[in-house]
Amino acid sequence: MTRYLYSLLFIPLLLIGVFKEGDMFLPNRFINQFDKNITITTEYKKVIVVFDKAGYYDVNKFIATKEINYLQKNHIAYINDISQMPKSILDYFVKPRMRQKNYSILLLKDMNTSKKLNYQDEKITIYTLVNGKIDQINCISSKYLEPHLQN
């Protein structure tokens, strides 16, 4: 009986699935930390997705070593998965700090989309896109950001 109940719990996960190579990167519309709508167009070549605080800090530290407009010049979107963060913490603590950055951080609030994003514990996911389709998926530790973000 318990096996049956456990299998029912996993059915929604099977139906949702995760992104794989060849899929279109959707949804492509996000809101950034400045509450501005941003669309990931076919011009974007890479998408960085962070799922936790450590990944967020590591990516920010990496971007701080680069020239201004590094993400824009290299057609890179940077997504922070905040789908499980309480709204009050986001509004009063996290967003004000994010607004100090001079680059756009796209905020992923939808938990169903979050489940598709190839989460691995303590990893950063980098999608390489070709015309909006996922060409490659890499789940890496922060020390490998540099080689994966070179065009």
Give pLDDT, residue 118.
86
All structural domains of the chain, each given as residue ranges with its CATH number in brackets, are 18-149 (3.40.30.10)
Give pLDDT, residue 141.
92
Q: Which helix (H) or strand (E) holds 10?
A: helix 2-16
Q: Which candidate, 37, 19, 39, places its Cα nearest to that of 112?
A: 19
Q: What is the mean pLDDT of residues 131-136?
A: 95
Using CA atoms, how far apart are residues 68 and 44, in angstroms rounded to an integer? 17
Q: Higher confidence at residue 17 or residue 90?
A: 90
DSSP states along 96-131: HHHTTSSS--EEE--HHHHTTS---TT-EEEEEEET
Which pLDDT band, with edges at 50, 70 and 90, does 21 fall under? very high
* pLDDT tens sequence across 47-104: 999 999 999 999 999 999 999 999 999 999 999 999 999 999 999 999 999 999 999 9
Global pTM value: 0.85
Give pLDDT, residue 151.
62
Q: Is 86 exposed, middle or buried (0-12, 13-18, 19+ CB in 10 A)?
A: exposed
Give pLDDT, residue 2.
44
* pLDDT tens sequence across 103-131: 999 999 998 888 888 888 889 999 999 99
Give pLDDT, residue 88.
94
Give pLDDT, residue 75.
96
Q: Helix, strand, or coil here: 17?
A: coil
Q: Is the pLDDT of residue 1 over 70?
A: no
Q: Is 35 exposed, middle or buried (0-12, 13-18, 19+ CB in 10 A)?
A: exposed
Q: Which helix (H) or strand (E) holds 14?
A: helix 2-16
